Amino acid sequence: MEHKGKGIAKVVFSLLLLAGLVYVAIFGIPDGKGHVSGNLGSIKQGLDLAGGVSITYEALKAAPTTQEMSDTIARLQTKADSYSSEAEVYQEGTNRINIDIPDVTDANAILKELGQLGQLKIVELRTDENGNEEEYVWLTGDDVQTAQAKITQNQTTGQREYLVELTLKSEGISKFAEATEKNVGKILYIMYDNKVISSPKVNEKISSPTCVITGMADMAEAEKLAEGIRNGALPLELQEVRSNVVGARLGSDAIRTSLIAGAIGLGIVILFMICFYRIPGLSASLALLIYTGMMIMVLSAFQVTMTLSGIAGIILSVGMAVDANVIIFARIREEIGAGKTVKTAIEQGFGKAFSAILDGNITTLIAAFVLYFLCSGTIKGFAITLAIGIILSMISSLVITRMILTGFYAIGARSEALYGKTVEKKAIPFCNCKKFSFSISIALIAVGIIAAGIFAFKGSALNYSLEFVGGTSTNVTMKEAMDIATIENEVKPVVVEATGVSNATFTTVAGTTEIIIKTTSLDLEQRTALATALKDKFGVVEDDIKTENISATIGTEMRRDALIAVTVAIVLILIYIWIRFKDIRFGASAVLALAHDVLIVIGAYAVLRWSVGNAFIACILTIVGYSINNTIVIFDRIRENLVEKKDKETMESLVDRSVTQCLSRSINTSLTTTVMVLVLLIVGVSSIREFALPLLVGMICGTYSSVFIAGPLWLVLRKLIKAEGDNN
């Protein structure tokens, strides 16, 4: 290793790098144009953090053309831009359009206006042979180039007059000329949204490229009409299939509590690492802080939209980032315990830990990529942050931690006492307990299946949330906490009167004043009426109300996507392990172990009636990645021990020895990750808690299955499926 000078340089460089990242995270990097980037404040926030409105429309036409979708998006973007410069309108699939407008206040009013992109018509009233009046359309909004609100002064009265001046397209000019020529002395009706807004008498043929609409009461009315005409009619008729309205205050609360959770969790993890692993723990802690700074810079630089699920992904990845360091440090202690020098132990510790770190992180990345490509919305954001976190964590542990640790060694931290050592202990007979372990697992899975069956008979096996069945959910933060009885007596009558829906259900969020009102799908008028009634009756403000509306069609698709995502992830992980370990039995037992974890967690969802929605998808695939990561570390040790198998050692003893060698790593990794999730559970907002509790159960199951199930299961498959090279 390097001499003292290089060691000092490494440590100083690391500290300067950390200081620089901390500075950037707080103050950012100015671009010379009045903007900064790289800091927390410059990270793009999703609607659930910034507040605002999100809506998904579906074209009623069965197979809209690319041009129709493109034209519709362009016109909706023009409308959305009038509310926020950060508004985004984009296509989803072949016939859906998403509109995200962050950081706006009267979101329900915006939803209403988005659905009122009107059609301009200039018509002549004609009488048919039966004496009925018919509209003959001469021009539409498509014949108008632009529309501008203007103020003029009446030459006779001197009063101000407000009007809209239309500039016609070339084809519109000829149409208007023909219309005025044939209707001299008659009235033409200018209609918008099928309402007459002006009815001028034609005095002569008009061939100019402009015409005016008069009769506006004020400039605001003229500007509103001009804006509507500019947007014109949408090429496609749309229907709302999903919408989400979030108050800005609710978003800011989510950011604040999530940051607090992250800081507390990170502090606890760092304290644990230093106390338990000493100098390596200090090195990992500094690397972990650098990792956090790099994460902030990457999210800002690539303009990753941060959502609540994304914050959960970051905080979770911080906990998982510790895992690689724990594997390395456990290896270093083993090498020191085997009589190696500290210098050699550090070198071999990193080398021997590499394959387990690589395989574990790749399998978790597989789950993240499946989430990204097969899911949408906030789950996609979770997948992005999780993937970024995994990649940066590998850089942090394999490069930065190593640089700092070798730097500390070079400047004099060379005593074994500063690193610790592990003397191989008598193997714990895990395989002897396999019947007992298998029985517990089968019993837990059976309880879940039975509970799901009973609830399915009553109506639904799982407690599907709006994302999976459709409906409207209104979260309102009241001035004071209410129990269910009070809600039934005071809130329910208000809901019924405002919406006309009598089957609303109510739940409270523990430790808060938040109430969740769930109903069948409400239209915009009903949702607006409910928000108004809650504000009038209970004194809440717009920022205290969050509304989500999802059609049954979307719910069905989400259930399908969830099943596909989990299936694809498991198949890809099986293939990867099969290739890496060159033994299908490793892959099959790993997949069976993670299927065990998934089934137990789904059983918990059934028994405890946890809400099954978007968070469920993220939770299950995170558990898949976490569980397989634990199992791979043990399988990697079994594979290594198989190469150096002791004389007369049985396969059961070899598995027991391998699991025992990895036991401290499994416990410590589970502790650090559990700390992060527990802090989320305690401090986070309701939507974060909805994610954290099942995840906590899954992590406990993942640790249990990797220690008590995976190894013995591999033994069973090894006896059932013989392969070339098996010796006993």
Q: Residue with structure tokens 């692993």?
A: 277
217-221 long-range contacts, Cβ below 8 Å, gap at least 24? 217/162, 218/162, 219/149, 219/151, 219/162, 221/162
CA atoms within 13 A on the CB side of 27: 7
204 phi-psi bin (left φ>0, alpha ψ -120 to 50, beta other):
beta
pLDDT, residue 724, reads 64
Contact at 8 Å (CB) between 234 and 72?
yes
How many beta carbons lie within 10 A of that of residue 27, not counting itself?
Answer: 12
Contact at 8 Å (CB) between 590 and 631?
yes
Amino acid, single-letter form, for residue 562: A
pLDDT, residue 285, reads 93
pLDDT, residue 725, reads 61
pLDDT, residue 419, reads 92
| Segment 71-91, tens digit of pLDDT | 788 778 877 887 777 788 888
Phi, psi of 192 (to 5 degrees): -135, 125
Phi, psi of 45 (to 5 degrees): -100, 140
Amino acid, single-letter form, for residue 48: D
| Alpha carbon distances (Å) from 19 to 14, 187, 409 | 9, 75, 22
This model's pTM is above 0.75: no
Angle between helices 686-704 and 308-337 (to 10 degrees): 30
Q: Residue with structure tokens 């594979």?
A: 639
| One-character DSSP codes across 482-530 | --HHHIIIIIHHHHHHHH-----EEEE-TTSSEEEEEESPP-HHHHHHH
pLDDT, residue 343, reads 92
Q: What is the rounded distance in angstroms from the CA atom of residue 283 to the CA atom of residue 25?
A: 21
Q: What is the rounded distance in angstroms from the CA atom of residue 229 to the CA atom of residue 463?
A: 46
Which two structure tokens, joined as six digits, stand for 531? 């928000």
How many beta carbons lie within 10 A of that of residue 234, not counting itself?
Answer: 21
Q: What is the rounded distance in angstroms from the CA atom of residue 114 to the CA atom of residue 120?
A: 16
**Helix, strand or coil for residue 125?**
strand
CA atoms within 13 A on the CB side of 212: 12
Phi, psi of 275 (to 5 degrees): -65, -40
pLDDT, residue 713, reads 93
Q: Residue with structure tokens 């967690």?
A: 601
pLDDT, residue 383, reads 81
∠ at Cα 486 (485, 487), nearest 5°? 90
How far is residue 201 CA from its own chain's centroid?
Answer: 57
Contact at 8 Å (CB) between 404 and 2?
no
Fold classified for 431-451+554-720: Multidrug efflux transporter AcrB transmembrane fold (1.20.1640)
**Helix, strand or coil for residue 207?**
coil
**Helix, strand or coil for residue 363?**
helix
pLDDT, residue 687, reads 67
* Domain ranges, ordered by start, for the chain: 4-27+248-418, 52-115+242-246, 120-231, 431-451+554-720, 476-550
Dihedral angle, C-alpha 347, 350, 354, 357, nearest 10 °:
180
Q: What is the rounded distance in angstroms from the CA atom of residue 155 to the CA atom of residue 133?
A: 36
Q: What is the rounded distance in angstroms from the CA atom of residue 608 to the CA atom of residue 303?
A: 38
Q: Exposed/middle/buried for 105, CB within 10 Å: 0-12, 13-18, 19+?
A: middle
Which residues sit opposite 163 in a β-bridge? 150
CATH number for the domain formed by residue range(s) 120-231: 3.30.1360.200
Helix (H) or strand (E) holding 665: helix 651-683
- Report residues of the chain scoring pLDDT below 70: 1-2, 34, 48, 50, 105-108, 112, 115-119, 193, 228-234, 246-252, 254, 308, 312, 315-316, 376-378, 467, 510, 552-555, 614, 685-687, 724-728
pLDDT, residue 228, reads 65
**Helix, strand or coil for residue 456?**
helix
Phi, psi of 338 (to 5 degrees): -85, 5
Handedness of CA 591, 596, 599, 604 (dihedral sign): negative
Phi, psi of 414 (to 5 degrees): -120, -5
420 phi-psi bin (left φ>0, alpha ψ -120 to 50, beta other):
left
Contact at 8 Å (CB) between 329 and 277?
yes
Q: What pairing do the DSSP bridges indicate for beta strands 463-464 and 611-612? A: parallel
Phi, psi of 451 (to 5 degrees): -60, -45
- The reply to whether CATH 1.25.40.80 applies to domain 52-115+242-246 is no
Q: Does the fold of domain 431-451+554-720 match that of domain 4-27+248-418?
A: yes
Contact at 8 Å (CB) between 394 and 291?
no
Contact at 8 Å (CB) between 207 and 122?
no
Which two structure tokens, joined as six digits, stand for 670? 């589970």
Fold classified for 4-27+248-418: Multidrug efflux transporter AcrB transmembrane fold (1.20.1640)
